[in-house]
Structure 1
């Protein structure tokens, strides 16, 4: 297959490109060429998808069996891309997000859940908002007439993760000592390796499958305790996990998700965080590896120089709790 990959090559895009090449496909990447070097073996075309002239240059005289869009953030850009690729691509796989669902994270969601109210014909350069992904989905379905798969992405982890949620926990566990562990060890998590996500996305492209797929690990596929134990195993650490109730963390002004990455307290507004149901994806063949395998591979990547790729930031906010703040909380337990 000839596959067009829209987006950077630093994490999920890299996973797609690597898997596609391993399957013997021919891959063209289209991105600005500023985040990471494209994987060896691809045809790299550099341009800005927000610039129609760059897109027109990309598609001039060309066709692809499938397009994979990991970078669509603005409905206007997705609409432009979908129009240009309609008739030039046999399948369109769009990486959306569970953020597109109207009830998430306050309530559980599945592939039939309503999405946020965002039109697909917004003008360009809208301020960041979760609703934009829902608008991108509408832009795609309005302008691409071939088979299209929408993959609502859950929490991605694995080697080359640029934000650093799993890397932060690995680094913290590796330092050892008493570690502030959030909530309860039996609290469920649903984490998906980017490599498993990409493999499933390519399966859909090869079959030209259409529809919506909540693409994350099965509900309760792992727990917070199993996740942190995996970090201890991978790093060889003897860290002591000090489990601390949500109420105590909130009383100490610990910010969920950011100061303790992946921590979603069992309070109003967070109940559905790890309750996105991937039933449609599982029925279509999604396979996910054990969390220990992903954690171990990520630690090996970090130790081999991967930290240089990690920002340890969520947008403009640094990830991780200040060590002095962590000690104050631990000293009170």
Structure 2
């Protein structure tokens, strides 16, 4: 299969490229040529920019396209229109962030999504800062889906992952817990022990997406994991069993954390306070993907491989997770109050 990957050298794109090459596919990458350019010397690399420089995509043909890098509908429209007669199948990597009304458990693919008015969309087009646009990330992703479906009717696959984790994940969200547990000592654990969490190993996602592309599957699929419910307590305990037997989990009440300005998701990755009324965000229904063959490697493998990769990094500032001094201060206050 001749496969075009929009992206291809960073995290999911990297995992997709590796899986495709291992399966014997002929891979072409399209990206700006700025990240990990030494990777995959054996593949064809087209240099361009989704923001306007798409000339290298013109006059070519592929069996299928996998789009890992689109989140602005106007740029997705441009590339999809160029490729609509150049490829037989188009896979767009979207996100479960498209959904709204997140207070409901078990969000499936038919759940309501966030919408943008035409006026708001026009405002976003004129914004120059990425942060302003990312505030509407989910709504924009959904509009990207629509652009793909419009250009590739009955020839498109929409994949909505949750949190993607594993080696080469530079967000520091999952790896915060792996590194913190490995460090040992008193570890602040947030809120309810039985709170559900969801994530998917990037390699499991990539391998499944590739199989879906090979079979020319169409439709929309949630894609996160694991297969059965995983609680925060079980996740942290399995981190302890894998990398950090010396860690001591100290469970701190949600109200106390919020009162000490410990933020969900950023300070405590994978944790969203109950008060946010977003329990559906980490309990997404993945039965459709499971029926389509989505499978998962052991959690311990994801933890250990992530830790091994993290040990090779030289990072001076983490993008997510609680500052060590703040963690220490909160735990001291929690203990002194006898809570």
Question: TM-score scaled by structure 2?
Answer: 0.89
Of 295, 308, 312, 2:318 maps to: 312
Q: Which residue of structure 2 lines up, in the alignment, with residue 74 of structure 1?
A: 72
Give the Cα separation in 1 of the matches to 2:87 and 2:110: 26
Q: Which residue of structure 1 lines up, in the alignment, with residue 87 of structure 2?
A: 89
State whether structure 2 residue 236 is matched by structure 1 residue 235.
Answer: no
Runs of 5+ consecutive residues of structure 1 not aligned to the other structure: 314-318
**TM-aligned CA distance change 1:120 to 1:42, over 3 Å:** farther
Pairwise CA distance, 1:173: 1.6
Runs of 5+ consecutive residues of structure 2 not aligned to the other structure: 128-132
Give the Cα separation in 1 of the matches to 2:279 and 2:165: 21
State whether structure 2 residue 20 is matched by structure 1 residue 20.
Answer: yes
SS in 2 for 1:272: helix
Pairwise CA distance, 1:106: 6.3
SS in 1 for 2:65: strand
C-alpha contact 2:8 2:17 (8 A) present in aligned 1: no
C-alpha contact 1:120 1:137 (8 A) present in aligned 2: no
Give the Cα separation in 2 of the matches to 1:120 and 1:226: 44
Give the Cα separation in 1 of the matches to 2:8 and 2:186: 38
Pairwise CA distance, 1:49: 1.4
How many equivalent pairs are there? 323
**TM-aligned CA distance change 1:324 to 1:234, over 3 Å:** same
**TM-aligned CA distance change 1:21 to 1:223, over 3 Å:** same
Q: RMSD of the alignment, in Å? A: 2.2
**TM-aligned CA distance change 1:105 to 1:208, over 3 Å:** farther
Of 294, 297, 307, 1:289 maps to: 297
The correspondence of residues 208-223 of structure 1 with structure 2, limited to 5 A, is 208-218=216-226, 220-223=228-231
State whether structure 2 residue 103 is matched by structure 1 residue 110.
Answer: no
C-alpha contact 2:204 2:296 (8 A) present in aligned 1: yes
Give the Cα separation in 2 of the matches to 1:306 and 1:8: 21
Q: Which residue of structure 2 lines up, in the alignment, with residue 101 of structure 1?
A: 99
Q: Which residue of structure 1 lines up, in the alignment, with residue 62 of structure 2?
A: 64
Moved over 4 A (4+): 105-108, 119-126
State whether structure 2 residue 54 is matched by structure 1 residue 55.
Answer: yes
Q: Which residue of structure 1 lines up, in the alignment, with residue 329 of structure 2?
A: 328
C-alpha contact 2:184 2:244 (8 A) present in aligned 1: no
C-alpha contact 1:219 1:277 (8 A) present in aligned 2: no
Pairwise CA distance, 1:171: 1.9
Q: Residue by residue, what CA displacement relative to the aligned partner does 1:12-70 show, whole Å, maximum 9, x if unpaired?
A: 0001000000101111111112232333432121110111xx3232232x111110000
The correspondence of residues 263-282 of structure 1 with structure 2, limited to 5 A, is 263-282=271-290
SS in 1 for 2:157: strand
Pairwise CA distance, 1:8: 4.5
The correspondence of residues 154-173 of structure 1 with structure 2, limited to 5 A, is 154-173=162-181
**TM-aligned CA distance change 1:254 to 1:191, over 3 Å:** same
C-alpha contact 1:162 1:312 (8 A) present in aligned 2: no
Give the Cα separation in 2 of the matches to 1:232 and 1:326: 18
Question: TM-score scaled by structure 1?
Answer: 0.90
C-alpha contact 1:218 1:278 (8 A) present in aligned 2: no
**TM-aligned CA distance change 1:234 to 1:219, over 3 Å:** closer
